[in-house]
C-alpha cells in the first residue's frame, strides 16, 4: 500500500511540475540581434534559438530537464534544477526563468542574466 501511494504521489508531482513549466513554453531568439534566426524557413532556427516545451529546455548544444520547480514569492518567476545532456556529457545546474511584460524570457544562470525575445508564431 505504501508503494502505491508513493508511486501516485510521484506521478502527481511530475504532472504538477510539467504544468508549472508551460507558461515558459515557446521558442526564443538566443540574443535580440538574432531575431532573423526565428525564421524557420531559413533553416537556422536550431543554432540561434532556444526552446522550452513539455518541461524540457532545448539550448544550442544541450537539452535539459526542468526539475523541482520553485515559485519565487512576489514575482512571476520560477527556479528550477537542470538535469542536462549535451556534447557527450551530463551535468546539473540551476536556472531562474521569468516572463517579461513584452513576452521576452529572462533567464538567470549562476550570476549571468540573458533576455531572449520570443519568436513570432509560425503559420
pLDDT band for position 55 (cuts 50, 70, 90): very high
Alpha-carbon distances of 75 from 1, 35, 57, 89, 115, rounded to whole Å: 39, 27, 21, 33, 17
- Rounded to whole angstroms, the Cα distance separating 41 from 80 reads 32
Q: Are 48 and 35 in contact (CB under 8 A)?
A: no
Q: Three-state DSSP class for 14?
A: helix
Segment 48-58 shows an average pLDDT of 91
At residue 123, does pLDDT exceed 60? Answer: no
Phi/psi zone of residue 111: left (φ > 0), alpha (ψ -120 to 50 degrees), beta?
left
The reported pTM is 0.74
Max Cα-Cα span within the chain: 56
Alpha-carbon distances of 34 from 2, 78, 95, rounded to whole Å: 52, 25, 22
Please tell me which residue, 123 or 74, carries the higher pLDDT value: 74
What local confidence, expressed as pLDDT, does residue 4 receive? 39
Q: Are 37 and 45 in contact (CB under 8 A)?
A: yes
What local confidence, expressed as pLDDT, does residue 34 receive? 62
At residue 8, does pLDDT exceed 70? Answer: no
Please give the radius of gyration of the chain, using alpha carbons only, rounded to the nearest integer.
Answer: 16
What local confidence, expressed as pLDDT, does residue 99 receive? 93
What local confidence, expressed as pLDDT, does residue 12 receive? 39
Amino acid at each position: 500500500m505504501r508503494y502505491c501511494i508513493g508511486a501516485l504521489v510521484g506521478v502527481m508531482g511530475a504532472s504538477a511540475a510539467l504544468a508549472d513549466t508551460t507558461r515558459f513554453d515557446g521558442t526564443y531568439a538566443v540574443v535580440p540581434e538574432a531575431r532573423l534566426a526565428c525564421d524557420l524557413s531559413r533553416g537556422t532556427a536550431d543554432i540561434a534559438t532556444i526552446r522550452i516545451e513539455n518541461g524540457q529546455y532545448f539550448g544550442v548544444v544541450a537539452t535539459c530537464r526542468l526539475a523541482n520547480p520553485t515559485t519565487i514569492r512576489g514575482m512571476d518567476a520560477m527556479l528550477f534544477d537542470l538535469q542536462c545532456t549535451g556534447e557527450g556529457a551530463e551535468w546539473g545546474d540551476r536556472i531562474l526563468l521569468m516572463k517579461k511584460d513584452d513576452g521576452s524570457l529572462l533567464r538567470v544562470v549562476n550570476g549571468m542574466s540573458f533576455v531572449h525575445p520570443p519568436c513570432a508564431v509560425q503559420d
